[in-house]
Structure 1
């Protein structure tokens, strides 16, 4: 049975509730190790009015602060970062087979002077690798060429050589024979009428297919029809040029079941594909466990 390190996420959000409520299901398929200390676990469980399972195994993460449900705080931000780096170290030292991350809050990280926008950026820096963010479920996966950057900066990032490397790395990790690549502009620029970024995309696709010796990548697809029912019959792996281009359709279709997978790094990392849900944290609301359980199952699958 694989060992999975669970990064606990922002303790002011729903992560701890998810971990506690899903434990009975999770322990049947893996051995979870939760990156949190006893004091904060007890404090959070008391606020949630939930019992701590006797077999809830911990990897101690130092730190002590008052949990403030639904609130952005630098203390919670710093702790969620430390929980994540603890999980990374366990995986790097082969003490666990994979890591699964519960949601962090980017503003909390910023308040804590954590100079990363999210988990993937940390992994990219930690391992010195071009980590790829892929999100989805078996019905639909989207890979993001650019991630947490302002929309106005995306067009400048469409570089033929960088996109070529991205496509080749993505193929190496997923080994799919039919992958859609989206254009950036409306109508995929209508042959240059609405922009010239598609020229770089077309060249990168052609070079990637030539190097692979097979017509793997198709496109650039027109963004507003790329996820139509007809196209989704042909593709379930998409390369998207920016964050919302991929995540808006994915979350509209498969919000509760989709997950986040980090590709092209030397450890296995999966994650829930949702945020900290501060609006319902510690309010005894029912929270969905689907994304978390799917993330754990995929981590187990990838580590076989």
Structure 2
């Protein structure tokens, strides 16, 4: 069975609940290793009233934390978990868990990385400059990871992900698009993918913008280079996810974050996953956030987590 390193995510969110709830099921499919300290795990278990399984293998990471945080863990009167609160401590902890889990995969101690949700503001408060998992992994490996989200019914890859909408148009460059298409195909061997234009009506032949002409040229060039027609479009974004198109295509490529993820999450929010392509390691994640609105209320659903694990096991 594969060994899967699991970073625990924001300890004030639903990550630990999902891990505890799902352990019995996933331990039959793989060997999970959770990067979380005994003290944090015990505190969460008491709040949730969920027992820690006897075979729940966790790796303590406190030696990698700041002295301030290590001291708080030693202080038995200190409240280690603050449900639904954005804190610098939870930001530091989730980032440290991620780094330790990643290191274990790089060192071949584990086969793949599964990440539970973090809170970007908590990272910011902790002085962590990355805007999420994909951004950190891209910087770590000095190579841009490709963010793809979805499920068996529909996957959406993002040409640009966590950048302001005002900067998207300037990113639409011929060479960048060609490089993206090639890297995507090498990382995820799909038979075909539908590419969305940037502007309404995919620019209407230049009436509503010229970026879509560049996208079309990049599609044509890449297909010729691959010697097969893999990429189709650019299609008007407002009809890209029609029922008819979803029957024809399983894979879609969006030019920016919300363009692709709004329809995906409207259709398959509870079962879709987040995958980082184009990296030397295999990584997947749940496709939802920390869910502070239900944190530590025993309401968290596990379908996305189980699907993310299933992807790692089968790839």
What is the aligned counterpart of 1:259 among 249, 260, 273?
273
Secondary structure of the 1:215 match is coil
Match of 1:114 in 2: 128
**Residue range with higher mean Cα deviation, 63-72 or 132-141:** 63-72
1:283 Cα deviation from its structure 2 partner? 2.2
Distance 1:14 1:48 in 2: 10
1:177 deviation in Å?
A: 2.1
Deviation at 1:282, TM superposition (A): 1.0
The residue matched to 2:206 in structure 1 has which SS? coil
Q: Note the C-alpha offset of 1:158.
A: 0.7
1:179 to 182, 186, 193: 193
Partner SS for 1:6: strand
Residue in 1 that maps onto 2:307: 294
1:15, distance to aligned residue in structure 2 (A): 0.4
> Residue deviations 1:95-120, cap 9 Å, x none?
10101000000010011111001101
Q: How many residues align?
A: 301
Q: Which residue in 2 is equivalent to 1:22?
A: 22
Q: Displacement, 1:273?
A: 0.1
Partner SS for 2:44: helix
1:157 to 154, 171, 174: 171
Distance 2:138 2:163 in 1: 15
Matched residue, 1:232: 246
C-alpha distance in 2, partners of 1:283/1:238? 35
- In structure 2, what is the Cα distance between the partners aligned to 1:238 and 1:207? 18
After TM superposition, what 4+ stretches of structure 1 lie above 6 angstroms from structure 2?
A: none
Give unpaired runs (5+ residues) of structure 2. Answer: 73-79
SS of 2:252 mapped into structure 1:
strand
The answer to whether residue 25 in structure 2 is matched with residue 35 in structure 1 is: no
User: 2 CA distance for matches of 1:152 and 1:129?
Assistant: 24
Give the root-mean-square deviation of aligned CA atoms: 0.9
CA distance in structure 1 between the partners assigned to 2:61 and 2:218 by the alignment: 44
3-state SS of 1:219 partner: strand
Task: Please point out which of 254, 278, 298 is paired with 2:292.
Answer: 278
CA deviation vs aligned residue, 1:164-189 (integer Å, no higher than 9, x gap): 10000001111112111100000001
Match of 2:6, SS state, is strand
The one of 180, 183, 188 aligned to 1:169: 183
Tell me, in whole angstroms, the C-alpha distance in 1 between the residues paired with 2:35 and 2:183: 30
Of the three residues 123, 141, 150, the one matched with 1:136 is: 150
Output the CA distance in 2 between the equivalents of 1:2 and 1:140. Answer: 26
Q: Deviations over 1:133-192 (max 9, x none)?
A: 110001100000111111111111111101110000001111112111100000001000
2:138 to 124, 149, 152: 124
**Structure 2 residue 264 is the aligned partner of structure 1 residue 247:** no
Deviation at 1:47, TM superposition (A): 1.2
Q: Distance in 1 between matches of 2:181 and 2:167?
A: 20
Q: How much does 1:59 deviate? A: 1.5
Q: Structure 1: which 5+ runs fail to align?
A: none
- Give the Å deviation of 1:130: 2.0
Distance 2:227 2:50 in 1: 56
